[in-house]
Amino acid sequence: MNSIVEAAPAVRPRTDPTQYVAHAALAVVLLLMLAFLAAPLLAILQQSLQDAEGGFAGLANFVAYAKTPALMDSLVNSLWVSALVTAITVPLAFAFAYALRRTRMRFKAVFRGITLLPLLAPSLLAAISLIYWFGNQGVLKGAMQALGIDSIYGAPGVVIAECFAVFPHALMILVTALGAADGRLYEAAHAMGTGTWRRFFTVTLPGAKYGLISASLVSFTLVITDFGIPKVIGGNFNMLATDVFKLVIGQQDFQRGAVVALLLLAPAVLTFTVDRWVASRQTALLTARAVPYRPARKPWRDGLATLYCVGVSALVLAMMGMAVFASFATFWPYNLAPTLNHYVMGLVDAEVGTAFVNSLTMAAGTAVFGTALVFGAAYLLEKTQGAGPLRAALRLLAVLPMAVPGLVLGLGYIFFFNAPDNPLGGLYHTMALLTICTIAHFYTTGHLTAVTALKAMDAEFEAVSASLKVPFWVTFRRVTLPICTPALVDIARYFFINAMTTISAVVFLYSPETKVAAIAILNLDEAGEMGAAAAMAVLITATSSVAMLLFMALAWIVDRRTQAWRA
């Protein structure tokens, strides 16, 4: 009897058949990520190792680049400009975030809303405004000369415009960092008689150091990879981003263009790696026993904070307002009477109206299909089991776009989808490819948002469904989607706004029929039609603002219909 028992084979738990469907869906998502993210990046590497005839050249292209003084100057220019903008922007953003979080000043929501306006505009709007303020026919042209700056074109204009464009990104990170504070630390410091400045350097700064590091890395990466601002106001001041455009579009030198793209990718990958390392070492600032920090009312400090926020907000409004004013001016600077001529010229004469429709189409497609892909992939990763190698590869590819500049990704799309033997070559120059590239470019932020929402849900939802033999897609439709609908709205809003304002990711991929509005602004600027360019930049900003309000209304409706259980 014992021998019979011992000889009986172990009973293995039966695999849920629905998991095979989940694994197949994971494989499909992985294939999409390989085709539209990994393969284009590998195409850049391959191109950099080939000669003009397609033969293997080894490191010859890199050596030739290093021996070209003009190209090396661009590398140095990009590095020091990025470092300078970071050194200026992060302290300014920290002071603003401190005023929002650690003072009792009034109108905080107004100040924060104003400083987030640049997120709704193409980055080159700042460059256009600076030209109207300090250019050769600018309102304050003499002010630049009084400061010893001969011209706003070149490094001075790039630095100022980049500070304007990067500021809201750094501010969002630092507002979050300063929002996590344990009031007990400040109470203890106050009880020990610690002075204000000593408390700032021993409690506040250490608590926000990871936020400061992340803000610095993000700022540096955004500047070194930006294309629009250097293109509009850089003049003869060359940077890596503009070099890629000149080499590929102007000189058709794809090999050296690939080399510069890899150099442009290196700082982004480095900063991404450092940011991940810093995040892994971060310890929790708030424990279960933490007490919310409530700043005491200090009239002198609150007054200074208000003055500072008024000053920064005024600068932001001045930049935005000048673009609006110039877009209505009849003939700058001789006839400033308001007119709609620039809007008519841009939308009708320059056929930007078609490009604007293309932008709306691309943004809507990015929002719909990007949200569906991101949330579906995140659900498969977080709420299904098995297929370990597939999951590991997909998790890596999901965070990779955060380290890939849009200009580099767009260049990779040229090399990969324009290859004669590529069966996907039919997508080249189509609106579908522009939409796919934009989704891939902004994939990581949407993915992290979806993962955060899904991790907040108890795993027992899926466990109970499995025990009742309910397929996972039924649980997804009936339980997960309704609960996570607010996150879906946030992801869609993020995709739509960024698709409306992006330039670098699609600057290599459009055709005359698929040109988008942000690219049309560059073309108007190159043609000397600065007024029409300003009008189109303002129009994109207005559209993004309306879209933001619509998404806010949608979020309110969603909360009312799907989140009543939270009350």
Quote the distance between the C-alpha of residue 106 and its chain's center. 30
For 549, the 3-state DSSP assignment is: helix
pLDDT of residue 564: 63
Cβ atoms of residues 326 and 346 within 8 Å: no
For 336, the 3-state DSSP assignment is: strand
pLDDT of residue 347: 83
List, for residues 432-451, the tens digit of each pLDDT value: 999 999 999 999 888 888 88
**Position 162 pLDDT exceeds 60:** yes
At residue 286, φ and ψ (nearest 5 deg) are -120, 125
Q: Which of 110-119, 120-129, 345-354, 501-510 has the lowest mean pLDDT?
A: 345-354
Cα(496)–Cα(277) distance, rounded to whole angstroms?
30
Cβ atoms of residues 265 and 161 within 8 Å: no
pLDDT of residue 303: 92
Q: Which of 225-229, 439-443, 494-498 has the lowest mean pLDDT?
A: 225-229
pLDDT band with cut points at 50, 70 and 90 for residue 15: low
List, for residues 127-147, the tens digit of each pLDDT value: 999 999 998 888 888 877 777
Bigger pLDDT: 55 vs 472: 55
Cα(99)–Cα(295) distance, rounded to whole angstroms?
11
pLDDT band with cut points at 50, 70 and 90 for residue 468: low
As a whole number, the mean pLDDT across the chain is 83
List, for residues 242-266, the tens digit of each pLDDT value: 888 888 887 788 888 898 888 888 8
Quote the distance between the C-alpha of residue 285 and its chain's center. 26
How many CB atoms sit inside 10 A of residue 29's CB?
21
- Mean per-residue pLDDT for 53-81? 86
Q: Which residue has the tokens 């920064």?
A: 312
For residue 519, give every residue at least 6 positions away whose Cβ sits within 8 Å of its Cβ, in sequence order, or none.
Answer: 355, 503, 506, 507, 510
Residue of 316, 315, 149 lying closest to 237 (CA atoms): 149
List, for residues 308-345, the tens digit of each pLDDT value: 999 999 999 999 999 999 999 998 888 889 999 888 88
pLDDT band with cut points at 50, 70 and 90 for residue 287: very low
Q: What is the CA radius of gyration of the chain?
A: 26
Written as one letter, the residue type at 191 is A
**Position 30 pLDDT exceeds 90:** yes
pLDDT of residue 473: 67
List, for residues 166-214, the tens digit of each pLDDT value: 999 999 888 877 765 555 555 565 566 665 666 666 666 776 778 888 8
146 burial (CB, 10 Å; 0-12 / 13-18 / 19+) is exposed
**Position 415 pLDDT exceeds 80:** yes
Task: State the sign of the Cα–Cα–Cα–Cα dihedral 163, 169, 172, 176.
Answer: negative
